[in-house]
Amino acid sequence: MKRISVAVTGSVLGALLVVCTVASPASAHGIIDLKGVSAVAGKSSVMTLEIQHGCLPSEPTLQVEAFVGAPWRAVKPQAVAGWTSSVTKQSKGGWHITWKNQGVPIPFGTATFFPISVDWPTTPGTYGMSVMQLCPGSSYYWNDKYAPATANVPSPPLTPRPEVLVVASKDAAAPKSKATVAPSTSAHMH
């Protein structure tokens, strides 16, 4: 009887672990939004990096860092009220952008948007942006590539790397007029 009790207890503990993992505060995601304008190879446009919420309910975001590789020709963060920004060219190419909160901490459930002027890579393809979110007692680093689920790896990853598809000019979507642009709706699961 004791073995059955231990086996049940182990199963119950395993189930509780799964429930606690799912029920714990969701990690935010770093999201790239092109706002209806294609990222065209060799051209420039603005993208927005969205941080959905703080690291934990009691931990607001204090700093955000983004890293892009050498193919990204240039990045320039635009002004965000209450935040300072800096850009550093990396020794092996690419860029490191840092935003630091200088104002009132952003409440946990509030998204923060960081517009960035980008000189896109000259070759069409998918390009990633590694993002780090720093809070008073924790942090998140979104740098995991999407992959199908396997026996030991869930999909999507808990800390996915945001990516952008840079297209050839012939494949660029025609910009929509402001009157016809629908509000951005993202199907992001937390």
Instruction: List pLDDT tens digits, range 113-141.
Output: 999 999 999 999 999 999 999 999 999 89
- pLDDT confidence of residue 1: 42
- pLDDT confidence of residue 82: 94
Terminal alpha carbon distance of the chain: 41
Q: Has residue 17 got a pLDDT over 60?
A: no
Do the domain assignments include residue 189? no
Do the domain assignments include residue 177? no
Do the domain assignments include residue 181? no
Confidence of residue 28 (pLDDT cuts 50, 70, 90): low
Do the domain assignments include residue 31? yes
Do the domain assignments include residue 132? yes
Q: Which residue has the tokens 């990690």?
A: 27
Helix (H, G, I), strand (E, B) or coil at 10: helix
Cα 24 to Cα 170: distance, rounded to the nearest angstrom:
45
In one-letter notation, the amino acid at residue 65 is E
Nearest to 186 by CA among 24, 68, 50: 50
Its domain, for residue 86, covers 27-171
Query: Which residues neighbour 176 within 8 Å (Cβ) at sequence distance 6 or greater?
Result: 36
Confidence of residue 174 (pLDDT cuts 50, 70, 90): confident
Do the domain assignments include residue 114? yes
| Total-model pTM | 0.75
Residues 82 and 60: beta-carbon distance below 8 Å:
no
Residues in the chain: 190
Instruction: Select the more confidently predicted residue: 24 or 35.
Output: 35
What are the pLDDT digits (tens) for 157-170? 888 899 999 999 99
Helix (H, G, I), strand (E, B) or coil at 24: coil
Instruction: Select the more confidently predicted residue: 21 or 62.
Output: 62
Tell me the CA distances in angstroms from 87 to 19, 20, 70, 141, 170, one per residue in order: 41, 39, 14, 18, 31
DSSP E strands: which ranges in 16-151? Answer: 30-33, 39-40, 44-51, 63-68, 74-77, 83-89, 95-101, 112-119, 125-128, 130-134, 139-142
Confidence of residue 104 (pLDDT cuts 50, 70, 90): confident
The CATH code of the domain that includes 92 is 2.60.40.2230
Q: Domain count of the chain?
A: 1
What are the pLDDT digits (tens) for 37-60? 999 999 999 999 999 888 888 889
Token duo for residue 151: 């026996």
Do the domain assignments include residue 187? no
What are the pLDDT digits (tens) for 59-98? 899 999 999 999 999 999 999 999 999 999 999 999 999 9
